[in-house]
Amino acid sequence: MKKYGQLIVVCGSMYAGKSEELIRRARRALYAKKKVQVFKPAIDNRYDEEHVVTHMGVKHPSIPVKQASDLAKLIEKDTDVVCIEEVQFFDKSIVDFIIQLADSGKELVVAGLDQDFRRQPFGPMAELLSAADEVIKLRAICMKCGRPASHTQRIINGKPAKWNDPIVLIGATESYEARCRACHQINSPKLRK
**Options 85, 86, 107, 177, the catalytic residue:** 86
Q: Which of 73, 86, 53, 54 is nearest to 170 (CA)?
A: 86
Query: Which of 101-129 are b and which e, b meaning 16 or more Cβ less than 10 Å from the residue's Cβ?
Result: bbeeebbbbbbbbbbbbbbeebbbbebbb
The strand ranges marked E within the chain are: 6-12, 36-41, 51-53, 59-61, 63-65, 81-84, 107-113, 134-138, 140-141, 148-149, 151-156, 159-160, 176-179
Contacts of 146 (CB under 8 A, 6+ apart): none
d(CA 6, CA 98): 10
Q: Taking the CA atoms of 90, 17, 166 and 61 in sequence, report the sign of the dihedral they define.
A: negative
174 is catalytic: no
**Vertex 111: Cα angle to 11 and 4 (nearest 5):** 105
What residues act catalytically?
Answer: 86
